[in-house]
Chains A and B, each alone.
Chain A
Amino acid sequence: DAGVIQSPRHEVTEMGQEVTLRCKPISGHDYLFWYRQTMMRGLELLIYFNNNVPIDDSGMPEDRFSAKMPNASFSTLKIQPSEPRDSAVYFCASSPDLDGYTFGSGTRLTVV
């Protein structure tokens, strides 16, 4: 298994632009999580899905952020419009339930 696959690895965009981050979880994992990591706030849970259904999105900062999981093998996190304070590393993780997460390699987002 290739693990959790995220794309792109790096993204530099201008303020106000739309940004879409992508994630392919490990096959058979029922849970998918989106985390944001910054020096100031550490690892923050943004949203998680169970069997493609969003369960808890209370961590999504504001309406500019949205996430979808149209099927078991793909999820997106979209920021529209992006702002400099959104600059962070965004991790996707998946788990088979009753076990620890496997994280993807992350997307380093820089909004200038």
Chain B
Amino acid sequence: GENVEQHPSTLSVQEGDSAVIKCTYSDSASNYFPWYKQELGKRPQLIIDIRSNVGEKKDQRIAVTLNKTAKHFSLHITETQPEDSAVYFCAASVNYGQNFVFGPGTRLSVLP
């Protein structure tokens, strides 16, 4: 079955700097890769996603890149702000919106 690894497990950056979180997946058939942000005590919320027919997607300060050959994808957050502090989860799915396998999460701290 699919296995998703995520690095780093914790990340601290200064406000205004960029943050990058990387994920690798094992199943080459995976075709959908969402990213979720979970603030303390709250639900995971979808922040951006990418499909396998696209190499990069951007939404304001957030971007995701996908390398299908290497089977890895990354989340990039630019101009980080304290409210970006949260746990970020990547996920992979073989069937778009079905049956995601989540990575273990990255705890991002943005220091003022």
> Which residues of A are interface residues toward B (Cβ below 8 A)?
31, 33, 42-43, 45, 48, 50, 55-56, 91, 95-106
Q: In the complex the two chains form, what is the Cα distance from A91 to B42 in whole Å?
A: 10
Q: In the complex the two chains form, what is the Cα distance from A42 to B36 in whole Å?
A: 13
Which 10 pairs from chain A and chain B are nearest by CB?
A: A100-B46, A103-B43, A43-B102, A95-B97, A98-B96, A100-B34, A42-B104, A99-B97, A97-B97, A103-B44
Per-residue A-contact encoding for B83-112, CB less than 8 Å = 1, 0 else:
000000100000011111111110000000
Q: In the complex the two chains form, what is the Cα distance from A98 to B98 in whole Å?
A: 8
> Which residues of B are interface residues toward A (Cβ below 8 A)?
34, 36, 42-46, 49, 89, 96-105
Q: In the complex the two chains form, what is the Cα distance from A102 to B99 in whole Å?
A: 13
Interface pairs (16), CB distance under 8 Å: A31-B97, A42-B89, A42-B103, A42-B104, A43-B105, A45-B100, A50-B98, A91-B43, A95-B97, A95-B98, A98-B96, A100-B46, A101-B46, A101-B100, A103-B43, A106-B43
Residues of chain A contacted by B99 (CB below 8 angstroms): 33, 45, 48, 55-56
Interface contact B105-A96, CB-CB below 8 Å? no
Q: In the complex the two chains form, what is the Cα distance from A96 to B105 in whole Å?
A: 24
Interface contact A97-B101, CB-CB below 8 Å? no
Residues of chain B contacted by A55 (CB below 8 angstroms): 98-99
Question: Which of A43, A45, A99 meets B44, CB within 8 Å?
Answer: A43
**Distance to closest chain A CB from B47 (angstroms):** 9
